[in-house]
Amino acid sequence: MKQVYFDNAATTPMRDAVIERMINVMHTHYGNASSTHGLGRSAKSLMETSRKTIASFLNVHASEIVFTAGGTEADNLVLRSAVRDLGVTEIITSKLEHHAVLHTVAQLQKEYNIAVTYVKLKENGMVDLNNLEQLLQSDNKVMVSLMHVNNEIGNKLDLQKVADLCKLHGALCHSDTVQSVGHYDLDLQTTPVDFIAASAHKFHGPKGIGFAFIRKGSGIKASLFGGEQERGYRAGTEAIHNIVGMETALKLSYENLDLERQHISELKTYFIDQLKNLSPEITFNGNCEDQDHSTYTVLNVCLSIPPEKGAMLHFQLDLKGIACSRGSACQSGSNQNSHVLTELLNAENLLKPSVRFSLSCFNTKAEVDYVMAVLKDFI
């Protein structure tokens, strides 16, 4: 059966060079980075080189990169410590955030009775920055947590403007950049965010490894205890092969960024054109049709199909070997609609099937053509 993978926002296939590097590290650098013997020092050296490389792509100090198990842990580390240790009494966020943020914020509200404020959204799901500026007039100790690129509809936040507003009003700024690190240049000296979260498997690296950027002097404290690893932020023996795999993946992503971005952007434009040709009744969720204000990797489509037929769409796509999704992979197994689409779509469009196609450098026009042929037959 033909296999076509258009679910890269959920996870990306690893590059061959990343796998090869990881295998080599597992064979030859298996020491514990906390050990003082040669094998331990060798592992430690590899880990710190990876940290410096990752920091260099963000224009930050190596000491500001803290390795985690992924974006979810990084979000939790920052948000929980901000409330517990930094005295944050209000979090401003949006209802379109990843559940790693929304569920953490909800739990913090229960535990610490903090205020949670949701910024207004425009009809297309873009954050209303005028409303954000108004909310920042709060007398509370505020943290703003807004994702850079939405994982379901691809909307791209003006992170520079948000960070500048936070700095102007004395608020802390956190951004889940899981969908943008490795896909966009981020200069964190120019963009004054205090914290970001990233995950290697979103840019063709291994699963189970990510990092938090924690600006020096922020006061964030540990959430995991048991050892002094990661400068005391995160206890536990570091997975050196995963860390090196993440470094390699990020390096390759940025070395090939311009070429791969052009390829994927052209593919997304082609995909949009083919969908419009298929049916004028097809609509695009959020702002994903706007290449200037959405990421080039995500396309979220609402198909004008009767609900009883639409219920079989994803099953039929899967039968044809097409991997895509309704929304976040973290919601798989749930019968609930996407919280993002529920917030944006009216009742009529919510009954129609929506499909997220997320693209990578490995996708081709031939694969788009195959998807279009399957959709045409189904519709």
The CATH number of residue 329's host domain is 3.90.1150.10
End-to-end CA gap in the chain: 21
201 and 281 inside one domain: no
Spatial neighbors of 118 by CB under 8 A, at least 6 apart, are 92, 93, 94, 95
Of 189, 223, 255, the domain-final residue: 255
Domain count for the chain, please give it: 2
147 and 285 inside one domain: no
For position 65, which CATH number holds?
A: 3.40.640.10
Weakest mean pLDDT among 162-166, 212-216, 285-289, 303-307: 303-307
287 and 229 inside one domain: no
Q: Hunting for tokens 């080599």 — which residue is that?
A: 24
335 and 215 inside one domain: no
55 and 203 inside one domain: yes
- Residue 59: the pLDDT is 98
Query: Which of the following is catalytic: 166, 173, 324, 330?
Result: 330
69 and 209 inside one domain: yes
Q: Hunting for tokens 């419009």 — which residue is that?
A: 276
Q: Which of 181, 105, 190, 108 is nearest to 144 (CA)?
A: 105
207 and 279 inside one domain: no
| Residue 330 annotated as catalytic | yes
36 and 120 inside one domain: yes
250 and 262 inside one domain: no
Q: How confident is the model at residue 333 (pLDDT cuts 50, 70, 90)?
A: very low
Task: Calculate mean pLDDT across residues 296-303.
Answer: 97
Of 255, 270, 291, the domain-final residue: 255
Of 255, 285, 308, the domain-final residue: 255
171 and 250 inside one domain: yes
53 and 29 inside one domain: yes
Q: Which domain holds residue 324?
A: 4-12+256-378
- pLDDT tens digits along 255-289: 999 999 999 999 999 999 999 999 989 999 999 99
Residue 130 near residue 141 (C-beta atoms within 8 A): no
